[in-house]
Amino acid sequence: MLVDRFAAYLAEAFGCSRIISISSSSGEPAHIEGEQTSAARARSILISRVEPHALTAGLLSELHRALDDVPAGLVVVRPGARIASPLELQRFLSERRFAVPFAGWADERSLIAVLENNRSPRLRPEPESFRVVAFMPTFNEADIFTQSLRYLLRQGIDVYVLDNWSTDGTAEQAEQWIGVGVIGVERFPASGPVATYEWRRILGRVETLASTIDADWFMLHDADERRCAPWRGISLKRGLHHVDRCGFNCVDHVVVHHWPQRQRFDPSVSLESQLPYYTFSDHPGHYHQRRAWKNLGCEVSIAPSAGHDVRFPGRLVYPFKFLLRHYPIRSQEHGERKVFGERVGRWNPEERSLGWHRQYDGKRPGQSFLREAATLESADEAEFHERYLIQRLSGIGVFGEAPAWTTGPRERFDRVPAAN
């Protein structure tokens, strides 16, 4: 069941050794299984499965008391006349002094709410001094560069552009924004264009820049992405500030892949409106998208994992994933040009031998890059947040087995892996 896997995921992310249940039968007091000391509860994730009528004052009181110690809890309820929707469940629990950052559907027949520890920091505005810098590698992204830049600026993020000698005017667009949210535009490598796409070297440059630029947090952010905090209406910058206040220093993302339905893409029309249909990405390279991290003043390593899994001493990955909306192919025309004209022939053979750059394997000229809308998801933001709460916060239900290269959310890195 997704709920049990979600609870196990949270236990690992919070460093807990067990999952405990709280239950209440009709006419009986609420009961929490297992050892009841505060120290034991602090190493536990709490889960409560109840019918709406069983959400009694006694059960809620015991649940609230447990949240003085446990880092997080889950309440799973079958919908009924009393509580019929995620919003009603969230409102019911919030009115009874619970901190409920997320509520949605566990499955077609069950509602679920995520509860925070009673002493966990609450979302609040970030100070003006809080600074986030996104490193944006580009190559021939002129059709969407300005839209993507404006999106990040609205989120309160500064941008450093690393352009791999684009030939379509991407770098020239970026230079027009220097001093207005863009803090640097760099052609890489500095020696001039090269025949192959040197992704490892670009990531090595990101590692170097992260050790020299003054910022609280950094992100590796491609031009064909939209990043979102997991709370509705909260900016990316505010979300990262909240993660920081909660004591974590790295953010993972779950990826949704947006597919084109048109022959051509119009750069004058918003990207989101032209590609509204999506699927969750189960590509092995998307299992980890730990591409946002706090500046701890130490070296970081992101090149060895092809940019998917930043590593540094003391890393603690935030348990709830942020969202990464991916728009790699914008139309049939764009797919043919990008894949066969600008990517496949430029892959670095050594990087390919490591298993990198495999996303277009199997594609042949003349094949369609388009997907029928009827085969894809089209939920609006509110529906997406509720229907796919477990999937978007954890990736549970999206992937099968974890790839061999994955690392744990609390895995120790006393020394960062070398870039070469």
In the beta sheet, which residues pair with residue 75? 48, 113
Task: With beta carbons less than 8 A apart as the criterion, state whether 78 and 110 touch.
Answer: yes
**CATH code assigned to 132-394:** 3.90.550
Return the pLDDT at 290. 97
Place 87 in a pLDDT band, splitting at 50, 70 and 90.
Answer: very high
Return the pLDDT at 353. 94
Higher pLDDT, 32 or 57: 57
Return the pLDDT at 253. 98
Could you report the per-residue pLDDT of 239-252, keeping only the tens digit for each?
999 999 999 999 99
Return the pLDDT at 51. 83
Q: Residue 239: which H helix or E strand, with range?
A: helix 236-245
Share above pLDDT 90 across residues of the chain, in percent, rounded to a whole number:
84
Handedness of CA 127, 129, 130, 133 (dihedral sign): positive
What is the mean pLDDT of the segment spanning 55-67?
Answer: 90
Place 36 in a pLDDT band, splitting at 50, 70 and 90.
Answer: low
pLDDT at 9 over 80: yes
Return the pLDDT at 35. 55
Mean pLDDT score across all residues of the chain = 93
* Spatial distance between the Cα atoms of 394 and 337, rounded to a whole number of angstroms: 34
Return the pLDDT at 55. 87
* Spatial distance between the Cα atoms of 382 and 308, rounded to a whole number of angstroms: 28
pLDDT at 410 over 70: yes
Place 230 in a pLDDT band, splitting at 50, 70 and 90.
Answer: very high
Higher pLDDT, 42 or 315: 315
CB atoms within 10 A of CB 214: 8
Q: In the numeric block, which tokens belong to residue 188? A: 């890489």
Return the pLDDT at 285. 87
Least confident of 24-33, 78-87, 101-110: 24-33
Domain chopping of the chain, boundaries: 2-116, 132-394
Return the pLDDT at 405. 86
Q: Residue 257: which H helix or E strand, with range?
A: strand 253-258
Place 112 in a pLDDT band, splitting at 50, 70 and 90.
Answer: very high
Return the pLDDT at 30. 58
pTM: 0.95
pLDDT at 165 over 60: yes
